[in-house]
Amino acid sequence: MTSLAFALILIVPVAGMVLLALISSYRIGAWLNVALSATAFAGSCLLFAVPMQTDTFFLVDSFNIYLVALNTLVGFTTSIFSASYIAHELEQETLTRGYLRFYHALYQAMMTAMSFALLSNNLGLMWVGIEVATLSTVVMVGIYRTAQAIEAAWKYFILGSVGIALAFFGTILLYLAAEQVLGEGAAALTWSLLVNDAAKFDPALLSLAFVFLLAGYGTKVGLAPLHAWLPDAHAEGPTPISAVLSGLLLNVALYAVLRIKMIMAGNAGAIPPGPIMMFMGLSSLIFAAIMLYRRRDIKRLFAYSSIEHMGIITFAFGMGGPLANFAGLLHMTMHSLTKSGIFFAVGHIAQAKRTQKLAGITGLAKSHPVLAWSLGIGVIAIAGVPPFGVFTSEFLVVTTTFVRQPILAGLLALGILIAFGALLMRLQQVLFGEPQGPSHKVSASSLPVLLHMGLVLLAGLWLPQILVDWFQQVARLLG
Amino acid sequence: MQGFNVDTSHFLAGAVLVCSFALLYQARLFALLNVFAVQSMMLALAVGWQAHVQQAGHLYITAALALVMKGMIIPGALRRIVQNMKIHRTIETVVSVNLAMLAGVGLTILSIMVVFPIARMAGGLAREDLAFALTIILIGMLVMITRRNAISQIIGFMSLENGLILAATGAKGMPLVVEVSVASSVLIAFFVFGIFIFRIREHFDSVDVDQLSAKRGDVE
């Protein structure tokens, strides 16, 4: 059964990837893409049914199993959105059929690489997974071949590669620290062994490894000041890619940081990772919140909002402890669902108005009521208004911080409020201004947006006990 | 024999580092390409020597790859691109030579100070290799920062990667080194030639990254 689940998540999509590269009809390609994503989601559901196990290469525990499920779910809904988005792009002739084959194959490559990174027990393999996922998104960001898209892809490639190189150097240092205890070979990179023997590692070498790994994977998370690639990559690529970048890839990179943090926690002599993560998280939050006010491009606006929320999540995990970890996990989930939902709405809006500039998108409530309301609900949810799930998790983060670090809680709340103001101000213009510019009909499927927002609303109103127990268990695991 | 083995590996790693310094001050693209090719060949020797000393046969693959891909094919192909685009006469205005060299020396001192006290336990062979490798990585970044040309930036990145391979092969028994080096060579070739350089050229008739920056979607 376990091997069946792994086959569905990892092997079927790779086989499908080859097929997608060969199919020239975009309709078949798009539906095959949806089918493959659904298969991966089914596989991840199957993982819940089988006993968790750990071997040399793969690791299944309560932490990554839920992230794999979240990843494949969002991957599945995004593939549905992508099918209608791409059909429209093809009509507009911004994309050609040849590139679409490429696009669908890369979409599967990225999804599989992320699942692979999440499931691997070997830190070297995890690095490979994250690198493959990053590089496939680089190509997709540049797929429109406009000057702006190439600039964004180039910047993403250069900064992403430097980040990934630093992470690899950190992995080498971690191997050197572990090798003295666990001996040469694959054992010294196997996470489940490292975490047990962390106390015996050389603290200084471990600390240095952590600094490189945090800088490397932190670039991928988009933590300030390493975030420069993120807004451009979100704004210039196809919108389905913005949705998976924000909703999934940032989480996977943070997952890698958290796995390293768990090793660090086992060694008393090494630098404590918490304060560094709290500092980076808080500065990302405040920086991004202020930057939100000056955005002129709707996709960039929500890209900065992603930096802001990754800051909050990193802060919560940096704080540690069962409650803060619980809040971090919940916020990770809520942000993924809400932000990808917002990007679905934004994608259709940009197609309806033929522009991404905020100045050109006004008065949607009159011209496109359905799109306007799906965006409106999404923005209200991400800004942290009750009764949505984002409110619950942000509230938890702020209150736990208030008990332990009142001053930081003040800064945290300030950052959240600044961002709140910026988002509502923009939303008001977009929805209720005077309609202007071109306004085309878009035949979009609202199903993905509604599904995401429904889940977020449900989580805000009533969090199932089984999910609470699950998150509490993971929170204890994270220490 | 032990002393000779260690000395030789230090000598070869040092040679790779010297090439990194030479990369810093090359103003012409052809010269930059040549220095990079020499660096990759030195890396191939250093990795080959590690394969011999550690009796790790699989490292010979990494060495061969460094020699053929990075020492010959990639520089050769880049050279053709430079010729076709008629930019081989370009002289880049970079940071002044003195300043770049000073920064390079500073980075060397920094990495020695960081690595030596920390890696005390990690055995002599790995320790010096690690310091050399970290310096090469940092200088690679310096090249990427100071250059304004897409081809020079790629070379900076590849020299950074040479440092990574040096570090990985110096860590005895490190798994996945060969796989990673194969994968990265393929990826670099794919990116450099397939996608970027041709596309950047299509749009700008130049590979100057400054022209790219002007096309940022969010210029205020």
Residues of A in contact with B144 (CB under 8 A): 158, 162
- pLDDT at position A386: 85
Q: Per-residue pLDDT for A143 more than 50?
A: yes
Question: In this predicted model, what pLDDT tens digit does every residue of A421-463 receive, in sequence order?
Answer: 999 988 888 888 788 777 777 777 778 888 999 999 998 888 8
Residues near A193 by beta carbon (within 8 Å), at least 6 away in sequence: A178, A182, A187
Q: Per-residue pLDDT for B214 more than 90?
A: no
Q: What is the pTM of this model?
A: 0.92
Report percent pLDDT > 90 for chain A: 45
Helical ranges in A50-122 per DSSP H: 62-91, 97-119
Residues of A in contact with B200 (CB under 8 A): 150, 154
ipTM above 0.85, yes or no: yes
Distance CA A364, CA A291 (A): 24
Q: Per-residue pLDDT for B96 more than 80?
A: no
> Which tops the pLDDT comparison, B35 or A387?
B35
Distance CA B7, CA A355 (A): 63
Q: Per-residue pLDDT for A391 more than 50?
A: yes
Residues of A in contact with B187 (CB under 8 A): 135
Residues near A52 by beta carbon (within 8 Å), at least 6 away in sequence: A60, A61, A62, A65
Asked, for residue A357, whether it belongs to a domain, the answer is yes
Question: In this predicted model, what pLDDT tens digit does every residue of A287-339 receive, in sequence order?
Answer: 999 999 888 899 999 999 999 999 999 999 999 888 999 999 999 999 999 99
Domain spans of chain B, in order of start: 2-213
Kindly indicate the confidence band of residue B220, based on its pLDDT and cuts at 50, 70 and 90: very low
Nearest chain A residue to B174, by CA: A185
Question: In this predicted model, what pLDDT tens digit does every residue of A221-274 receive, in sequence order?
Answer: 999 888 888 998 998 889 999 999 988 999 999 999 999 999 998 888 888 999
Q: Per-residue pLDDT for A170 more than 90?
A: yes
- pLDDT at position B73: 86
The alpha-carbon gap from A150 to the nearest alpha carbon of chain B, in Å, equals 7
Cβ neighbours of B198 (radius 10 Å): 12
Q: Per-residue pLDDT for B16 more than 90?
A: yes
The alpha-carbon gap from B34 to the nearest alpha carbon of chain A, in Å, equals 22
Nearest chain B residue to A234, by CA: B217
Kindly indicate the confidence band of residue B219, based on its pLDDT and cuts at 50, 70 and 90: very low
- Give the tokens for residue A279: 């500092």
CB contact under 8 A, A189 and B213: no
Kindly indicate the confidence band of residue B201, based on its pLDDT and cuts at 50, 70 and 90: low
Nearest to B212 among A151, A188, A235 (CB): A151
Strands (E), A270-374: none
- Give the tokens for residue B214: 């002007």
Long-range contacts at A463-468 (CB < 8 A, ≥ 24 apart): A463/A330, A463/A389, A463/A392
The mean pLDDT value for A382-395 works out to 90
- Tell me if B166 sits within 8 A of B125, measured CB to CB: no
CB contact under 8 A, A169 and B220: no
Q: Per-residue pLDDT for A361 more than 60?
A: yes
Which chain A residues in 296-315 lie under 8 Å from chain B, judged by CB atoms?
296-297, 300
Asked, for residue A74, whether it belongs to a domain, the answer is no
CB contact under 8 A, B215 and A147: yes
Q: Calculate Rg over the CA atoms of chain B.
A: 18
Long-range contacts at A180-188 (CB < 8 A, ≥ 24 apart): A180/B121, A180/B122, A184/B172, A184/B173, A185/B173, A185/B175, A186/A56, A186/A122, A186/B175, A188/B173
CB contact under 8 A, A179 and B121: no
CB contact under 8 A, A176 and B180: no
The mean pLDDT value for A281-289 works out to 94
The mean pLDDT value for A273-281 works out to 93
CB contact under 8 A, B168 and A236: no
CB contact under 8 A, B171 and A175: yes
DSSP H/E element including A236? helix A229-236
Beta bridge partners of A297: A357
CB contact under 8 A, A189 and B176: yes
CB contact under 8 A, B217 and A236: yes
Mutate to test the interface with B, among A146, A173, A229 (most CBs of B within 10 A): A173
Which three-class secondary structure state does DSSP give residue A79? helix
Residues of B in contact with A169 (CB under 8 A): 133-134, 137, 164, 167
Q: Per-residue pLDDT for B196 more than 70?
A: no
Residues of B in contact with A153 (CB under 8 A): 195-196
CB contact under 8 A, A205 and B119: yes
Q: Per-residue pLDDT for B40 more than 90?
A: yes
User: Token pair 């080194």 is at which residue?
Assistant: B177
- pLDDT at position B117: 79
- pLDDT at position B89: 65
Asked, for residue A152, whether it belongs to a domain, the answer is no
Domain of residue A442, residue span: 280-479
Asked, for residue A110, whether it belongs to a domain, the answer is no
Which chain A residues in 154-193 lie under 8 Å from chain B, judged by CB atoms?
154, 157-158, 161-162, 165, 168-169, 172-173, 175-176, 179-180, 184-186, 188-189
User: Token pair 């507009």 is at which residue?
Assistant: A92
Best CA proximity match to A293, nearest among A372, A346, A358: A358
Distance CA B19, CA B15 (A): 6
Asked, for residue A341, whether it belongs to a domain, the answer is yes
- pLDDT at position A387: 86
Beta bridge partners of A70: none
Kindly indicate the confidence band of residue B125, based on its pLDDT and cuts at 50, 70 and 90: low
The b-or-e profile of A379-392 (16+ CB within 10 A means b, else e) is bbbbbbbeebbbbb
Asked, for residue A241, whether it belongs to a domain, the answer is no
Q: What's the structural domain count of chain A?
A: 1
Question: In this predicted model, what pLDDT tens digit does every residue of B51-88 receive, in sequence order?
Answer: 898 888 888 988 998 899 888 988 888 888 778 777 76
Q: Per-residue pLDDT for A412 more than 90?
A: yes
Question: In this predicted model, what pLDDT tens digit does every residue of B134-173 receive, in sequence order?
Answer: 999 999 988 888 887 778 888 888 899 899 889 888 887 7
